[in-house]
Amino acid sequence: MVELPAPDKITPRNVRAYLNRDDSLYIDIRNYEEYVQGHLRNFELIPFSALIYAYQAETEPNSVQLYGGFPEAPIPVFQESDEVLEKLFPKDKNLFIICRSGNRSAAMVHLLIERGWDKENLYDIGGILDYERNPEYQDLLVSWPMFRSIANYAVQGLTRIER
């Protein structure tokens, strides 16, 4: 298997060469409504804003996000936040992370680094917009434009940290 270059060397121009690896997970962190409108084949959905992070999640009693604060200084909302995060983003895999424009994927990488992930295994591959505009990736794009729905998220069995 081809060794992976440094995370800053994989971009929308060359990421195709690093897809479908057994040692890697491919994660789209947009919300469900964005994902069904178009995503890269074999990228699983883990919604950043709906499940992982919200700026004031630690002070909102009904928040379902795992972290609040800033992505560069995340504040766990639940005692189990790091455990859940590692189940979703395993530390023993290379993680290729995409969003819409690159902002959320960059924030996700910052959050993971701050929570103890090795930055050498984190690949922020930008936004789906870069791939939708590139003819080289048209065969990897999947969309379900007939789906229109609202996703609701809930957290059960986690212990909220009292502040």
Q: Are 96 and 123 in contact (CB under 8 A)?
A: yes
Instruction: Look at residue 38 and tell me if it is in a domain.
Output: yes
Q: Is the pLDDT of residue 151 over 90?
A: no
Distances (CA, A) of 145 to 140, 149, 152: 16, 11, 19
Domain that holds residue 36: 7-49+90-142
How many structural domains compose the chain? 1
Instruction: Look at residue 114 and tell me if it is in a domain.
Output: yes
Instruction: Look at residue 153 and tell me if it is in a domain.
Output: no
pLDDT tens-digit map of 66-76: 999 999 999 99
Provide the mean pLDDT of the chain: 93
For residue 149, with 0-12 CB atoms within 10 Å meaning exposed, 13-18 middle and 19 or more buried, which class applies?
exposed
Instruction: Look at residue 160 and tell me if it is in a domain.
Output: no
Q: Supply the CATH number for residue 11's domain.
A: 3.40.250.10
Confidence band, pLDDT 50/70/90 cuts, at residue 146: low
pLDDT tens-digit map of 84-142: 999 999 999 999 999 999 999 999 999 999 999 999 999 999 999 999 999 999 999 99
Instruction: Look at residue 56 and tell me if it is in a domain.
Output: no
- What pTM was computed for the model? 0.93
pLDDT for 147: 64
Instruction: Look at residue 163 and tell me if it is in a domain.
Output: no
Instruction: Look at residue 11 and tell me if it is in a domain.
Output: yes
